[in-house]
Amino acid sequence: MTGRDRIGITLGDPAGVGPEVICKALAAIPAAERQAIVVIGSGETMARAARAVGADTGLLDSFVVEEVASDGLPLQFGKVDPRGGEACYRYIVRAVEMAKAGEIGCIVTAPISKEALNAAGHHHDGHTGMLAALTGAKSSFMLLASERMSVVHVSTHVSLKDAVARLTVERVLATIRAGHAHFERIGRRQPRIAVAGINPHCGENGLFGREDDQFIAPAVAAARNEGIDAHGPISADTLFYRAHNGAFDLVVAQYHDQGHIPMKLVAFDTAVNVTLGLPIDRCSVDHGTAFDIAGTGKANHVNMLSAIAYGRKLTATRQ
């Protein structure tokens, strides 16, 4: 097995449910598959999580832990703590180093607390922005992928006002291109891409705003001129229904909630968060730290299983 066949799973915030869902997921997959996984974080935190979920005592010996030193662990479960933000930042930095060195082929991330991350002095809007900064990527895109529907976002963790202000032909076109390239990479030839409008009914010819005509329509036309099977802008109030029923392979959403709300409605436990545009591969669970149930062993690990499976797909198709 080469390094590029291995998946590195970052522990996430040690006060959240990340370590627990990792333990549960690893316990649910065959032992042979665990040999292709390295957990990046703290062995002590993983041991505590294993006790919380009632895992077999031998589980921790069936995979590798890449120890990353961080002060103040273990933390109290379920509390926002700058030390947790510092720890998860260090885990991600180490994972990026390993990915760039070819020691792992894909990073799978457990959830972090953006509040704790920023309290620790690392001012990023989440994994996507942090990974772009750590890898020197000029831009990155958030894709939520599931079997029935997938959505890639033009903007994510900004206010709705800023999302509208940042809308440009270039950004919409770049998002379409990134989604098209990713789907072709994973074997979906000439994917059908629908681009959502940003205003009600795509602006109704300027009655409800002109952003759809000024920025989105020209981007779709440019994509089509490049041979991409793009359509739009299409009113978002009907688009996601059509995509869920098979009319499109991918939806381009214009802002965070436009894409996240329908995805979490139809694939809350199985959607995988994938970062496009980086020189390395990364995917993640699509849920948060769930501080309210951290340490109880109740956290659902199905989403982590989906993320690990998507990570395997990425390692298999990486050139």
Q: For the chain, list the domains and their CATH numbers.
A: 1-138+268-319 (3.40.718.10), 148-266 (3.40.718.10)
Name the residue with tokens 């770049």: 174
Q: Which helix (H) or strand (E) holds 55?
A: none
Question: 256-266 and 236-244 are packed helices; what angle lies between their axes, rounded to 10 degrees?
Answer: 40
Could you give the percent of the chain with pLDDT greater than 90?
A: 93
Report the distance separating Cα 11 and Cα 310, nearest Å. Answer: 17
Instruction: Name the residue with higher pLDDT: 318 or 86.
Output: 86
Q: Which helix (H) or strand (E) holds 173?
A: helix 169-185
Q: Can you count the helices (H) and strands (E) in the chain?
A: 13, 11
**Is the pTM here over 0.75, yes or no?**
yes
Tokens representing residue 159 in the block: 């206010």
Name the residue with tokens 């059509």: 242
Q: How far is CA 87 from CA 91, 111, 291, in A?
A: 6, 12, 16
Q: Which helix (H) or strand (E) holds 193?
A: strand 193-196
Mean pLDDT for the chain overall: 95
Q: How far is CA 66 from CA 50, 76, 95, 122, in A?
A: 17, 22, 9, 22
**Do residues 40 and 94 make contact, with C-beta atoms less than 8 angstroms apart?**
yes
Compute the CA torsion angle 110, 111, 113, 116 (nearest 10 deg). Answer: 0
* Cis ω for the linkage preceding 74 (within 30 of 0): yes
pLDDT digits (tens, 9 = 90+) for 154-196: 999 899 999 999 999 999 999 999 999 999 999 999 999 999 9
Handedness of CA 224, 229, 230, 235 (dihedral sign): positive
pLDDT bucket at 80, cuts 50 / 70 / 90: very high
